[in-house]
């Protein structure tokens, strides 16, 4: 279903948009594409922020690098 709305753009932004769109696309196509990208960007940013928040709640895990080296160099190593 197509919804139609009226959007007002600053004249300077509209002029810039007209200069960057290619001849094969309409101004509407350019605006729709830009809005789709912005929605994806904001969703990605929200997901990233959720991940960071979860990371802050989880306690820091100890560095296992030295333990791994010890196991690799130890006698218990099965080859």
Residues 36/29, Cβ–Cβ less than 8 Å: no
Q: What distance in Å separates the CA atoms of residue 8 and residue 77, rounded to the nearest whole number?
A: 69
pLDDT value for 64: 92
Rounded CA separation 37/43 (Å) = 10
Calculate what percentage of the chain has a pLDDT beyond 90: 68
The whole-number average pLDDT for the span 8-36 is: 93
Contact 34, 20 (CB under 8 A): no
pLDDT higher than threshold 80 for residue 2: no
User: In the predicted model, what is the mean pLDDT of residues 7-26?
Assistant: 93
Distance CA 39, CA 45 (A): 10
Region 17-44 average pLDDT: 94
* Strand, coil or helix: 37: helix
Query: Does pTM surpass 0.85?
Result: no
């Amino acid at each position: 279903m197509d919804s139609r709305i009226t959007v007002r753009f600053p004249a300077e932004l509209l002029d810039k948009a007209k200069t960057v769109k290619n001849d094969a696309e309409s101004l509407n196509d350019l605006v729709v594409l830009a809005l789709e990208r912005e929605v994806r960007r904001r969703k990605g940013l929200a997901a990233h922020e959720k991940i960071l928040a979860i990371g802050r709640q989880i306690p820091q895990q100890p560095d296992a690098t030295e333990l791994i080296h010890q196991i690799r160099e130890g006698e218990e190593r099965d080859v």
